[in-house]
Structure 1
């Protein structure tokens, strides 16, 4: 034993070599079982010394193994090492074990193990094979905290990158799901956002193994999510902390064995929550997971806010703020696209130009607020009168256009125009005050009347003015 200590002091031998030196000095007879002669000095090491036989079963572990793996040495002896390895890492671990047993030194191999408490530990191994003893000797260093720190930094960077690269909030949340899934089990993950105007929840992203459909939006239907969002505090529910009230609740949340939710904080309060669920005991969540998710939640909240702002700016650039209809810019883009498609498919399309007769009188008589309300109701009736594939847009003031494509025959086009005129001919409710409005509609066809956006808009506009000057409240086809 003294000789072993001298070797440790005098030689820069690797940690992996130390157990072998000790074994050789403590076991002059190579046939003597290693478990009866391993020096107790190994128990002083912070790293765990593990010895397995050629079948991969533990024959010796030092005291540090209990701190790293959670099992006592007595529980580990005779147990196959591979049973502790995270299933995803077993193939690679088995391959490395075979290389070690063939004589290859492996000083920096990393893999993951499932601790006795179900948590995942990241281990860096130094290992070699003792041909004399037919044993594989390895030193295990717990690098879980280091990997955790590295993963968190990488996650924050990835979330920031996703915030700039994602096309919309759904895509952003999908990427966030992937990033968080690298930190902890997240097969069941969703982003819940609170809508204060309606006091409901919305789910721009929802992934659930048992319930693929989007969950209810009612606050009462999702009590845990509601508590996290309205209370602004993270929450971890485990089998030992579940309340009787939750067990009896008619909620999808009650089915999860483990439920983890953290708020998404903003300067104005909590905008929503990140929620992860587990339906099986093998995927547990702990306070450490809660802290981890809370650590990234601020960055996620910033990313979602940025995406929401971009979405609003994009909407403002392309849609009329009063009626929520496409504006002139977006309509021109859609008209260009529709014309290109009509040329390619050799089909007809129609452009309807609408103007409200005597709209100025409504503003003069009832005020601009009433006029705005009227325009909003007109926009809704126009949307209700056409197919979803057709386009309704507001150009300016009381001027609207409707783009009809995909093979409308002339009779169908005039029928749609008459349907619109009849719909707008019904009284409007302006805050309790009924108001009748008439409309004039001009129609231009491609390719009959023109083959460019400018020609079609100009001819439809001219036809509308002829209808207006002919007494209004009528439909007129361009000549």
Structure 2
């Protein structure tokens, strides 16, 4: 039986009927008193009202019995409501002992009503940490007689040790004199709801983390550090490492956490966990890292506090690209399905990051590599030269630059074809690389021009390297090389300009030697140095094609420049049929074996003091005359007394006409 006032709203009709019966009883009592008073006043005539008295007594007894039955029914109904209520109902006395508790309350704490009724609620149901605080707060409320907070959240401990979260609504109980006798509490077990809310929040955090991870992978040039940081956040691990395969080794390339693992290498043939995961493509978990023989001693050496390790492969097209290793400083019995799924998703993002990085590297290599020779190109040269100068400045060492140019490469192409020219470029690149150091950087700037960066190399070393390059070139005409050693003051462009000047000087020397080539002189000796009407007409055509006032056909031996045909020219050189080789403007065309075009001779370093400039030649365009054996016989030249620009069409037209000139010269 319950021993506290009940005021459930569901009992209002029953209690209302009881009040009506009590009112009827009071009316009958009043009627009985009236009859008694009339009996005293009227004497023997009172027998007339005796039936009324008897009727009043019977009615009174009946009403009292009905009230008692109604009270018992109301109490039983209240007890059923109390016990079957879906929420916890708890009645505590002033000391916090349980006076009554319903079935829902017993189910939450996992104890029977017999165990709980009369027991100290705070000692049996509250956590040890909260019991003193809860008991003191309850005593304060009872003493004050006032509830400042009707709603409060508490943690209860079930008999099995499980902590349950309960939301309480409390009301103080009073006796008929208004004194506080205890507290009636209604509680709702929100443990499952809390758990679901926490799980939902965790899922939202995880989805947000995965979304940020995907964004980082898509946006960052190198997303590997972001991947390991996000995996560490998702798993609550002490550290996370990403390893990639490099040759026969597995190398840690990204680390999140305070462990010096970056750069640690493991051989793929080792029995380590990472090597096995890389080989099998399957995830592996080690609950006790310290005693697991699969864990690399090197890993435990640099991360000694690691208790548990989980390794998962980073896959791409069913092939492992790397390994994600997750380490905890606390013991972990097993990796949950959810954690494994999160690491798997992060592993997929890691594979995207690795593939993207590999693609970027390939594109960078393509952008920095010459497709024909597979040497680095000008882009890499422009990037590496400032770095080499800065490194030399810090280390106080020398750095040299060499510029290379294949001699007579144009004639080689014209005679043997462009495929042969491409083959020569590839062979030259391979031959030069064989005689260079691993730290030297050889690049192809374009055409037959190459550049060489020589770190930690002075003048003697640079000149010795130039000789090795000249000896190694698989080309009869050879290669011209110009070297310059950095003076620690000039810029990179200025250093390259000095090397270019040295190259030009070396090429000039080679050109002079070409003028004295016996094979060339022998080819000239077989020709008649006298002009002809056909050659004069070809000179006129040359002037017309070049849109120039004058043109000439010249042949050069080792002593003189012979003018065999001309148009628009006059003066001693024409009258004498030529000039000394030192004053021949066409010698540069013959020596180089390629077109020599000058818009303003007064500004060109080779012609600024040339006698032809004093004679009024201010613009020059000459193309070589090459016979069937590749020998440069002379030049087809166009002249102008004013500075002017020569178009590619002008030069191309002269080259085409030069073939007819050579045919005319060599015709028997």
Q: Same fold (TM over 0.5)?
A: yes
SS at match of 1:246: coil
1:393 equivalent to 2:446? Answer: no
Match of 1:274 in 2: 324
Match of 1:201 among 250, 264, 274: 250
Per the alignment, residue 415 of structure 1 pairs with: 460
Q: Could you tell me which residue of structure 1 aligns to residue 237 of structure 2?
A: 186
* Structure 1 residues 341 and 229: alpha-carbon distance in aligned structure 2, compared to 1, 3 A threshold: closer
Aligned equivalent of 2:272: 223
Post-superposition Cα deviations, 1:94-130, rounded to whole Å, max 9, x if no partner, equal xxxxxxx9969899xxxxxxxx99xxx9x99979999
Alignment partners' CA distance in 2, 1:104 and 1:468 = 105
- How far the C-alpha of 1:423 sits from its partner, in A, is 5.2
Q: Distance in 1 between matches of 2:452 and 2:95?
A: 93
Q: Distance in 2 between matches of 1:403 and 1:42?
A: 85
CA contact 1:326–1:393 (8 Å) conserved in 2: yes
| 1:159 aligned counterpart, secondary structure | helix
Within the alignment, does 1:41 sit opposite 2:104 as a pair?
Answer: yes
Checking the alignment, whether the CA contact within 8 Å between 2:284 and 2:312 is kept in structure 1 is: yes
- Write out per-residue CA displacement over residues 383-410 of structure 1, whole angstroms, 9 at most, x where no aligned residue: 5465xxxx653323663213579xx9xx
Structure 1 position 203, deviation (Å): 3.0
C-alpha separation between the residues in 1 aligned to 2:354 and 2:372? 25
* 2:309 is the counterpart of 1:246: no
Give the match for residue 86 of structure 1: none
Deviation at 1:293, TM superposition (A): 0.7
Contact 1:393 1:401 in 2 (8 A): yes
Contact 1:236 1:290 in 2 (8 A): no
SS of the equivalent of 1:157 reads helix
Give 1:219 deviation, angstroms. Answer: 1.0
Instruction: Look up the match of 2:378.
Output: 328
Distance 1:229 1:349, change over 3 A: closer
Which structure has the larger Rg?
2
CA contact (8 A) 2:238 2:329 kept: no
The secondary structure found in structure 2 opposite 1:176 is: helix
Tell me what 1:262 maps to.
312
- Alpha carbons 2:314, 2:324 under 8 Å: kept: yes
1:421-436 equivalence runs, <5 A: 421=466, 424=469
* Matched ranges for 1:64-463 at <5 A: 77-79=127-129, 139-140=190-191, 141-142=194-195, 143-168=197-222, 172-195=223-246, 198-206=247-255, 209=258, 211-221=260-270, 223-239=272-288, 245-246=293-294, 252=299, 256-267=306-317, 269-281=319-331, 285-320=335-370, 326-332=376-382, 351-355=401-405, 372=426, 375-376=429-430, 378-379=432-433, 381-382=435-436, 384=438, 392-396=442-446, 399-402=449-452, 413-421=458-466, 424=469, 440-443=480-483, 459=501, 461-463=503-505
Give unmatched runs, 5+ long, in structure 1: 9-20, 47-57, 62-75, 82-100, 108-115, 343-347, 429-433, 473-477
Say what the alpha-carbon RMSD is for the aligned residues: 5.9
Instruction: Rate the CA distance shift 1:454–1:220 in 2: closer, same or farther, 3 A.
Output: closer
The answer for the alignment partner of 1:26 in structure 2 is 90
Q: Residues of 2 paired with 1:3 and 1:322: CA distance?
A: 101
Say if 1:186 and 1:276, in contact at 8 Å, map to a contact too.
Answer: yes
Query: Which of the pair is proportionally richer in helix?
Result: 2
CA distance in 2, matches of 1:427, 1:454: 23
Deviation string 1:59-81 (CA, Å, 9 cap, x unpaired) is 666xxxxxxxxxxxxxx831569
**Higher mean Cα deviation, 183-192 or 435-444?**
435-444
Work out the CA distance in 2 between the residues paired with 1:125 and 1:315: 64
Determine the C-alpha separation between the residues in 1 that align with 2:307 and 2:6: 51
Deviation at 1:162, TM superposition (A): 1.1
Secondary structure of the residue aligned to 1:146 is helix
> Number of residue pairs matched?
377
Separation of aligned partners in 1, 2:336 and 2:476: 65
Q: What is the deviation of 1:292?
A: 2.2
Q: Deviations over 1:414-437 (max 9, x none)?
A: 234224225547879xxxxx9999
Secondary structure of 1:31's partner?
coil
The more displaced of 252-261 and 370-379 is: 370-379
Contact 1:261/1:274, CA 8 A, preserved across alignment: yes
| SS of equivalent to 1:183 | helix
1:273/1:426 CA distance change after superposition, 3 Å: farther
Distance apart, 1:234 and its partner CA:
1.6
Q: Name which structure has the greater RCO, CA cutoff 8 Å, separation 6+.
A: 1
Matched residue SS, 1:315: helix
Q: Distance in 2 between matches of 1:350 and 1:173?
A: 37
Distance 1:174 1:182, change over 3 A: same
Which runs of no fewer than 5 residues in structure 2 stay unpaired?
11-85, 110-121, 132-146, 154-160, 173-181, 393-397, 515-604, 607-668
TM-score of the two chains, using structure 1 as the length reference: 0.57
Alpha-carbon distance in 2 for matches of 1:304, 1:297: 10
Distance 1:283-1:379 versus aligned 2 partners, 3 A rule: farther
Cα pair 1:194 1:202 within 8 Å, conserved: yes
- Determine the C-alpha separation between the residues in 2 that align with 1:357 and 1:246: 62
CA deviation vs aligned residue, 1:457-477 (integer Å, no higher than 9, x gap)? 7545524523544669xxxxx
1:11 alignment partner in structure 2 = none
Task: For residue 163 of structure 1, report the CA deviation from its aligned partner.
Answer: 1.8
TM-score of the pair, normalised by structure 2: 0.43
> Conserved in 2, the CA contact under 8 Å of 1:424 and 1:437?
no
Distance 2:468 2:9 in 1: 97
Residue of structure 1 equivalent to 2:508: 466
How far apart, in 2, do the equivalents of 1:293 and 1:452 lie? 54
